[in-house]
Amino acid sequence: MSAPSADTTIRLPDDMRAWIEEVTGATVTYADRQAGGGRKEAWFVDVHDVGTTRALFLRWDQGDPAAVGDPWTVRREAEVYRALRDTPVPVAQFLAMHPTRQAMLATRVYGRNWFSHITDPDEAESTAKDFITHLAALHRLDPVALGIDVPGVAGLDPTRSVPDLAVAQIDEMEAIIAFRGGEPDPIVALALTWLRANVPDYDGPTVLVQGDTGPGNFMYADGRVTAVVDWELAHFGDPMDDIAWLTLRAVQEPFTDLDARLAEYEKLSGHRLDYDRVRYYRVLGEAKIRVMSHGQSAADRGNRPGEGGDPGAGLIFGQLHRRLCAEALADVMGLDFESPRVAEPPAPTELDTLYDVVLGQMRHVITPRITDGFASQRIKGLARVIKYLASAQRLGAVYAADELAELEVLLGDRPASVEEGRRAVARANAAGRVDTADALRVLYAGIQRDNELLRDASGALADRHYHRLPR
């Protein structure tokens, strides 16, 4: 978490500022929201007292988790930070949890978090190796001795078996879907049905799983990890669950020689790598990512006051993880599908020219004049949305016609829309009327077409895939 700018900006609401001053016994002299922070807001805060300035970090969810059935709360995360405070795993020092709000205050750790920003290969390898030592150390901790206490969260009960803890994760996701209402993303519905029927029969030791672990969720400096961050998905379970997450995050930010890093993990942790279980937890992790946003559109997440969503990021990462969920499910089932036909784009129209003008203005006129990092991130996200809208305007109808024809063959009737057809496939699979492999084949073809519509907005992510695991 790098140092703030030299100004004295304070953008926190007065009551939050007062709470920070109360628990620290110091005066807030700087507070500014940062880009990133995942689903929760990230704030840099400086407090000053008797000639000493302390750099703090505020993790804040301004929404109400109870209103959306979200079990992955800041309060739950704070309990994990407390438990790890005196362990070999480097984490920010937990300072306080707000008595009524979902807000946690911790020390601010020096370093950067975007692994892809490392330009020196030697520094990248050194940093990656150091992270592996900390992941192995995490998985060597005695889960019972950690004393984590979050009532009502089955996934944080270290006395349960690993298979039971895997089922608890599936139960947690299905509870969110039921609470928010509506049908899940069809590929998620397919995945959840398969996951429940194929829980690995593993009777090995339970570990504390960070969840969402890997590049992007640790801080680093000078070739070393300074802190492991983002523990909202932490739970007890299978060590291969975290290995699956590591390979997942390595899709977004390539993580040096992954095979070498996994071999180092096996040696340091004492946990034998089981690639079939890694494949299982890849599907589970991808399903969880999609369930997090169930019932919330990209536009909703971007426009709700205080939530801090980025509609552009929601589009491209939502598509990335829908595709990776399908690919992970195909991999664990041993299936291989051909790519669908990609239509030739029609001749440009006046609308296409207008999209180009808007994007050009945003890139060359507006963005260079923005000095605020948070605002700059958002304008880039909006540019991604416009790129998608331009592509959908040109190719959306062509791709929809192709997919409707495929859905009609599988279902026996032509659905009223692509969305309804995809949901009908998931329902037919759950009822046993359509084989999982056939359902996945058709759904994946549609997801690949969506990938083409988002290609310009996604950039390199459009062609990223999971690292191939040995069989």
Alpha-carbon distance of 313 to 37, in angstroms, equals 13
Please give the structure tokens belonging to residue 378: 């958002």
User: What pLDDT sits at residue 305?
Assistant: 46
Going by pLDDT thresholds of 50, 70 and 90, the confidence category of residue 296 is: confident
Q: 76-126 pLDDT, tens per residue?
A: 999 999 999 999 999 999 999 999 999 999 999 999 999 999 999 999 999
Query: What local confidence, expressed as pLDDT, does residue 295 receive?
Result: 87
Q: Are 41 and 57 in contact (CB under 8 A)?
A: no
Q: How far, in Å, CA of 164 to CA of 25, rounded?
A: 45
Max CA separation in the chain (angstroms): 76
In the predicted model, what is the mean pLDDT of residues 317-322? 95
CB 185 within 8 A of CB 290: yes
Chain centroid to Cα 103, Å, comes to 20
Whether 303 shows a pLDDT value over 70: the answer reads no
**What pLDDT is stored for residue 309 in this prediction?**
66
Q: Please compute the mean of the pLDDT values over residues 311-332 and round it to a whole number.
A: 95
For the stretch 234-257, pLDDT in tens is 999 999 999 999 999 999 999 999
pLDDT on residue 443: 97
Give the residues across from 159 on adjacent strands: none
Cβ atoms within 10 Å of 53's Cβ, excluding its own = 12
- Tokens linked to 183: 């049908």
Phi-psi region of 25 (alpha: psi -120 to 50; beta: other; left: phi over 0): left
pLDDT of residue 302: 42
Query: How far from 261 is each of 144, 256, 266, CA to CA, in Å?
Result: 28, 8, 9
Q: Per residue in 42-79, pLDDT tens?
A: 999 999 998 899 999 999 999 899 999 999 999 999 99
Q: What is the pLDDT of residues 169-217, one digit of tens each?
A: 999 999 999 999 999 999 999 999 999 999 999 988 999 999 999 999 9
Q: Percentage of the chain with pLDDT > 90?
A: 79
Q: What is the pLDDT of residue 3?
A: 53
Structure tokens at 67: 């209103």
Listed by start position, the domains of the chain span: 14-107, 115-295, 301-463
Give pLDDT, residue 200.
97
Of 214, 210, 252, the C-alpha closest to 232 is: 210
Rounded to an integer, the average pLDDT of 282-290 is 97
Of 2, 253, 224, residue with least CA distance to 114: 253
CA distance 354 to 288: 38
Coil vs helix vs strand at 55: strand
pLDDT value for 418: 97
Tell me the two tokens of residue 417. 């829309």
How many CA atoms lie within 13 Å of 212's alpha carbon, on the beta-carbon side?
Answer: 21
**Amino acid letter at 200?**
P
The count of other CB atoms within 10 Å of the CB of residue 132 is 24
Q: Are strands 218-221 and 207-209 parallel, antiparallel or unpaired?
A: unpaired
Whether residue 325 is predicted with pLDDT greater than 70 in this model: the reply is yes
Q: Average pLDDT of 391-412? A: 94
41 DSSP assignment: E
pLDDT at residue 10, as a whole number: 77
**Number of CB atoms found within 10 A of residue 461's CB:** 17
Tens digit of pLDDT for each residue in 127-153?
A: 999 999 999 999 999 999 999 988 888
Mean pLDDT of 20-40: 88
Going by C-alpha positions, the residue among 166, 292, 274 that lies closest to residue 232 is 292
349-367: pLDDT as tens digits: 888 889 989 999 998 999 9
CATH number of 14-107: 3.30.200.20
What's 115-295's CATH class?
A: alpha beta
Range with lowest mean pLDDT among 29-43, 253-267, 451-465:
29-43
Contact 46, 39 (CB under 8 A): no
- SS3 state at 439: helix
Question: Is the pLDDT reported for residue 399 higher than 90?
Answer: yes
Using DSSP's 3-state secondary structure scheme, residue 157 falls into: coil
- pLDDT, mean of residues 39-43: 87
For the cut 60, the answer to whether the pLDDT of residue 306 exceeds it is: no
